[in-house]
Amino acid sequence: MRIAFFDAKSYDRPSFERYGAEHGIKFKFYETKLTEDTVDLARNCDGVCAFVNDQLDAAVLDQLAELECRYIAMRCAGYNNVDLKAAANSGLRVVHVPAYSPYAVAEHAMALLLTSVRRIHKAYIRTRDFNFSLNGMTGFDLHGKTVGVVGTGKIGRVFIDICRGFGMHVIAYDKFPAQGTDIEYVTLEELLSRSDIISLHCPLTDETRHLINCETINLCKKGVVIINTSRGALIDAECLLDGIKARKIGAACLDVYEEETDYFFEDFSGHILNDDILARLISMPNVIVTSHQAFLTEEALSNIAETTVLNLVQLHDEGACDNELRFVGGEVKRGR
């Protein structure tokens, strides 16, 4: 198979080249994102390998079908940027990587939290200038605090285990609670009102879009810390900014951002940022932003490449895949 690999970064290539060679897949790496303007790069390929910021709407999918591409291999868990109905209508098969390293994302969420509440990022900058003052560096103990976890899939449950290791009290909300666990599930309203810290680990759907908005922020405790390592559009960024300015939100730890497509994964140092909300958030002393970095560990990169390659092999050799995303009867079905 020949697969056009879009939005390629230097850290992507080693694992994909290794696993691809083992299974007879040739990846053609392109630094550009997949859009209507670049889709022709997939000509003479069996499919494309895409990421979170690639454009996979009906227009692009129709062009891929015209180029006789058959497969769309998402090298991530999320697929909200894929029009699955249009893919089905065009005869394109879509697969994703449902789990690559839940530990990578959950550990990054905790790293952001610790960095924020213990002012580690500020201490790093100060001591680089030989400033050893502790003024303004007071944090708070995580032990005994209540953390509300929204979404209890693999990543959410790993994050819960980490929080329990710190002696935190965990409550959770999930439309589909995990069975056979001792997790204390509550309504979303109760989670918002009780939590000192809220961490988002749910997928982005029409139902969860702007889950954190002006109304839900008003339900939160004053000084709440909000963590998002899932999908940017789970949070209404304007409402988040207003909540920070009103001192309702004590801190925000963001690895994702609703309008990240034009910025994240790229170097804009020395340039003026056109997104005023993102610029304001980054300027806030109680906001930490990382650029969709939570997944980025050696283990996760290897798992992503291996699973993506095996997904393609299954589709090609068996005509079906355990990680296929199918649009059936107006709903998304996972699996064969």
Check 258, 260, 306, 324 and give the catalytic one: 260
**Mean pLDDT, rounded, of the chain:** 95
For the record, the structure tokens of 261 come out as 């497509």
Q: Which residue(s) pair with 94 in the sheet?
A: 72, 325
Q: Which residue(s) pair with 326 in the sheet?
A: 333
Check 231, 316, 324, 326 and give the catalytic one: 231
Question: What is the DSSP code (8-state) at residue 100?
Answer: S
Which stretches in the chain have pLDDT values below 50?
A: none
Q: What are the pLDDT digits (tens) for 180-200?
A: 999 999 999 999 999 999 999
Amino acid at 52: V
Indicate whether 227 and 108 sit together in one domain. Answer: yes
Q: Which of 111, 104, 118, 69 is nearest to 90 (CA)?
A: 69
Indicate whether 240 and 282 sit together in one domain. Answer: yes
Whole-model pTM: value is 0.88
d(CA 232, CA 262): 13
| % of the chain beyond a pLDDT of 90 | 88
Q: Which of 262, 248, 251, 246 is nearest to 289 (CA)?
A: 251
Indicate whether 115 and 253 sit together in one domain. Answer: yes
Phi/psi region, residue 211 (left: phi>0; alpha: psi -120 to 50; beta: rest), is alpha
pLDDT at residue 178, rounded to an integer: 93
pLDDT at residue 210, rounded to an integer: 97
Indicate whether 162 and 235 sit together in one domain. Answer: yes
**Residue 120 CB neighbours (<10 A):** 14
Indicate whether 85 and 15 sit together in one domain. Answer: yes
Indicate whether 51 and 158 sit together in one domain. Answer: no
pLDDT at residue 100, rounded to an integer: 85
pLDDT at residue 331, rounded to an integer: 79
Domain count, the chain: 2
Q: Which of 333, 334, 325 is nearest to 93 (CA)?
A: 325
Q: What is the CATH number of the domain that holds 249?
A: 3.40.50.720
- Provide the residue count of the chain: 336
Q: Which of 193, 192, 194, 252 is nearest to 228 (CA)?
A: 252
pLDDT at residue 56, rounded to an integer: 96
**Residue 156 CB neighbours (<10 A):** 25
Indicate whether 206 and 119 sit together in one domain. Answer: yes
d(CA 157, CA 179): 12
Indicate whether 129 and 278 sit together in one domain. Answer: yes
Long-range contacts of 86-91 (CB under 8 A, 24+ apart): 86/57, 86/58, 86/61, 86/62, 87/56, 87/61, 87/327, 88/326, 88/327, 88/328, 90/61, 90/62, 90/64, 90/65, 91/65
Indicate whether 322 and 190 sit together in one domain. Answer: no
For the record, the structure tokens of 244 come out as 């920070």
d(CA 151, CA 185): 10
| C-alpha dist (Å) from residue 135 to 119, 132, 139, 283 | 11, 9, 11, 20
Domain residue limits at 23 = 2-100+297-334
Q: What are the pLDDT digits (tens) for 39-90?
A: 999 999 999 999 988 999 999 999 999 999 999 999 998 888 999 999 999 9
Q: Which of 57, 54, 59, 66 is nearest to 91 (CA)?
A: 66
Indicate whether 187 and 253 sit together in one domain. Answer: yes
260 is catalytic: yes
Check 292, 316, 324, 326 and give the catalytic one: 292
Indicate whether 282 and 302 sit together in one domain. Answer: no
Indicate whether 157 and 279 sit together in one domain. Answer: yes
**Residue 229 CB neighbours (<10 A):** 27
